[in-house]
Amino acid sequence: MNIEAFPEYAAVKRREPSFAYIGQVWEMEILARAFTVLGCTHLIVSDGLSFLADRLVNGARHESFVRISDQDDDHDDVDIRDYLLDDLQDGCAQLAVAIAKDQCSSSPRILRAAADHASNFCREICHLS
């Protein structure tokens, strides 16, 4: 294809998708672990949340989707591609419901403190813009 044949496309600046800050490693690890416990049975898989869980819990390499500023510190920042933020928010909304159902069951699979933190953090992620 000859780009000169379409000058309006040649003049458009292409923008690399940016990353959005979503929290710190320790917060994300609790959220990701709750997802790995409940996600398989209760949730429609969210790409944003599954990339996050794979990166933080399983150590899978997803630098093009999830970026962690330093692997050696629990208080370092976690960023996710901005185009996955909506998907992450949808996954967090589903996860919050699954956590509530888990905590109401006779034998919850997640400790109460972890469930409280994951639910609160899901709420924070859902309010990011």
Question: Residue 111 domain-assigned?
Answer: yes
Q: Spell out the alpha helix ranges (H) of the chain.
A: 7-10, 25-42, 47-56, 85-104, 112-126
Opening angle at CA 4, ends 2 and 5, nearest 5? 75
Question: Residue 2 domain-assigned?
Answer: no
Reported as a single tens digit per residue, the pLDDT across 10-69 is 666 666 768 989 989 888 888 888 888 887 655 565 677 777 777 777 777 777 888 888
Question: Residue 34 domain-assigned?
Answer: yes
Question: Residue 6 domain-assigned?
Answer: no
Domain count, the chain: 1
The pLDDT value recorded for residue 120 is 93
> Running DSSP on this structure, what letter comes out for residue 46?
P
Question: Residue 5 domain-assigned?
Answer: no
- Burial class of 19 by CB neighbour count within 10 A (0 to 12, 13 to 18, 19+): middle
Question: Residue 3 domain-assigned?
Answer: no
| Contact present, 73 and 27 (Cβ < 8 Å) | no
The pLDDT value recorded for residue 94 is 85
Question: Residue 10 domain-assigned?
Answer: no
In the predicted structure, residue 78 carries a pLDDT above the cut 70: yes
Opening angle at CA 62, ends 56 and 67, nearest 5? 70
Reported as a single tens digit per residue, the pLDDT across 85-118 is 888 888 888 888 889 999 999 999 999 999 999 9
| Contact present, 51 and 80 (Cβ < 8 Å) | yes
Domain that holds residue 54: 16-126
Question: Residue 9 domain-assigned?
Answer: no
Distance separating alpha carbons of residues 45 and 122, to the nearest angstrom = 15
Q: Which residues, other chains included, contact 33 with Cβ-Cβ below 8 Å and sequence gap of 6+? A: 53, 57, 114
Reported as a single tens digit per residue, the pLDDT across 113-126 is 999 999 999 999 98
